[in-house]
Structure formats: C-alpha cells, structure tokens
Amino acid sequence: MLGSNGQIGTVLAEALRNKYGSDQVITSDLRPPKHQTGRFLELDVLDKEKLSRTIDELGVSQIYHLAAILSASGEKNPELTWKVNMQGLLNVLDLGVEKKIERIFFPSSIAIYGPTTPKQNTPQFGSFMPSTVYGISKITGEMWCEYYHKRYGLDVRSLRYPGVIGWQSLPEGGTTDYAVEIYHGALKNKHYACFLKADTRLPMIYMDDVIRATIELMEADGNRLSLRSGYNLSGMSFTPAEIAAEIKKHIPDFHIDYQPDFRQQIAESWTESIDDSAARKDWDWKPEFNLAAMTSDMLEKLGPQY
C-alpha cells in the first residue's frame, strides 16, 4: 500500500491484514506511521526506481495507491499536488504493466465534479470540470486508469470516494474534514466552529462502508466490471446543520457556529448526492450507514477518548 499513513490507509491496511494475514500486507508512506502494526517502509511514490526495486524484492502482486495531496492542501501548492498525484499514479501504472502486477486500486474523489456537473443524483458520466488541482488530477487519473486497462490490459479498479468519516483516524488537508472534526469538538468542548456554511450539502460515507466497498471492488469478478475509471459511490448526504442536529440528539448542549473560509468555495463547486447505480449493478454495492447510525457509532467509539 502506498500512502498508507493517512486517514484511510491506516484503517484499510488493518482491514487487509485481518483479512489476508499480517505478513501479506506491506505499508509505505513518505512519513513513518504513528503506530507500526506490520511491515512498513518509507517510500516516495515519485521515486520510481525505489518503487520498482521494492516491487521486485518483496514480490508485490497488488497495489493500493492511496498517496495523494487532498483538495484544500492542494490549493496551497498546485505544482507539487499535480506532481505527486499525477506522476505518482503514472509511476504505479507503468510499473504495474512492466512487473505484471495482478491488480491495482486507485481512489478517485467527488472532487472531480465541478460547477457544470448536475448537483443532485450526479450521474456516472457527465460534464466534469473540476475547480481544484486535486480534482483535475483525479479525473485525469481516472482517464489514465481506463487507458492503461484498454491499452495494456492492466487490472486497475477505482472508486470515486465521497468525504470519508471515521473514528479511527483524523483527516488532513481536505474540504470534508469538518464532518470528522465536529465529533471530536462535540465530545471535547460541546462546541465546533465549522469552516463551511450551515446549508452546504455534500456526499459523505462512513469508514466501514468505504473499506467494505474497496475490498468488494478489489475482489469482484473482473468480467462484471464495465468501468475502469472511477465508479460513483454513494453513502449519505448532509449539511453541517443536519449533522449538528443529529449530534444534539446525543449531546443536547452541543452548539455549532459557522466561520466559512476558502474551503467553502471548493465545497460549493462539488455536488450534493450521487447516483451509484453502476456500482450497484456491476458488483452489488450497497451502503449500510446513514447519518443517524454513523453518529451513534462515532460518539460511542470516540467517547472513551474524552
């Protein structure tokens, strides 16, 4: 796994280790992990030579390529974001062909959608003109995945993750980060200052669902997959006001205020809800968590920390 120390990688690596055995999963990242739970090595996805040697030496057969710079951080350094997100992926795809890697996973994002995309029930195909360098890198990445599959037969699979919410890890550098931070704020101070406006509706998904979707897609019968760009993936959709109201059912004196910053503009360029019928048809995708179930679970799991 590349980029394994982030919000999703830490949880996905543990799930894969539980499923396939600890010694079957090797994690890697630019920075060392907070808690090392298995084999780890420091690896920059831009260092193609080291990546190539590592694949040979460790006998790597599948790659989960999570390394990226996310939407909000990306706007602070567009050049580096393009390099890491694009060249990093191309290194993985090239080596995937050269080393005959069996299967590759590439997470895309709702950041591929833009102001020209239908906002409700966003279709699988449409007008995608993303407004962030992160979004541009993800839609271009999807196109490269499709190309490498068609041209070289590379078995690459991809999901357009909504904003991911989980209790196990903290997000960094994204526009949807508020939906994790709010639970910590509620438990710690009974207060959260939200960087998005009250009525900003975005597609989101609970960590349990995102991990299950990723593993289900990676284990799906390749003959059923009609897409090698990213599959639309839906979990739930809500606004900051709605998540705050749900938290108040558990913590009645919780209060939220709104201090929108530059991330408001990014969020407004994205869509509100997703049509994921292709994923449901091709590999039987079905989300399990809605806002109420997620909120109960988040507060229960995070409670003991506070």
Tell me the residue number closest to ligand AKB, measured at CB. 174
Near ligand NAD by CB under 6 A, which window of 67-75, 226-234, 239-247, 276-284?
A: 67-75
Q: Taking a C-beta distance cutoff of 8 angstroms, is the pair 30, 38 a contact?
A: no
3-class SS of residue 84: helix
Which of ligand AKB, ligand NAD, none sits in contact with 71, Cβ below 5 to 8 A by type? ligand AKB
Residues of span 37-56 touching ligand NAD by CB under 6 A: 44-46
Cβ-based nearer residue to ligand NAD, 190 or 239: 239
> Position of tokens 């991809």?
158
Q: Which of residues 135 and 185 has its CB atom nearest to ligand AKB in the complex?
A: 135
Among candidate residues 64, 113, 134, 178, the one labeled active-site is: 134
Structure tokens given for 13 = 């690596």
With contacts defined by CB under 6 A, how many residues of the chain interact with ligand NAD?
29
Give the up-direction half-sphere exposure of residue 1: CA atoms within 13 A in the CB hemisphere: 26
Taking CB atoms within 8 Å and a gap of at least 24, the contacts of 31-39 are 31/5, 32/5, 33/4, 33/5, 34/5, 37/13, 38/13
Q: What are phi and psi of 28, to 5 degrees?
A: -155, 155
Neighbour tally for 258: CB within 10 Å:
17
From the list 4, 91, 109, 229, which residue makes contact with ligand AKB (rule: CB under 6 A)? 109
- 96 binding partner (options ligand AKB, ligand NAD, none; Cβ < 5 to 8 Å by kind): none
Residue (109 or 237) nearer to ligand NAD, CB: 109
Whether 207 contacts 9, CB under 8 Å? no
Q: Which stretch binds ligand AKB (CB under 6 A): 28-36, 103-111, 242-250, 277-285?
A: 103-111
CA angle 35, 287, 193 (to 5 degrees): 60
| 114 is a contact residue toward ligand AKB (CB under 6 A) | no
Which CB sits closer to ligand AKB, 138 or 149? 138
Closest CA to 68 of 30, 27, 38: 30
Check if 152 is active-site.
no
Minimum gap (Å) between residue 235 Cβ and ligand NAD: 11
Positions touching ligand AKB (CB under 6 A) are: 70-71, 109-111, 134, 163, 174-176
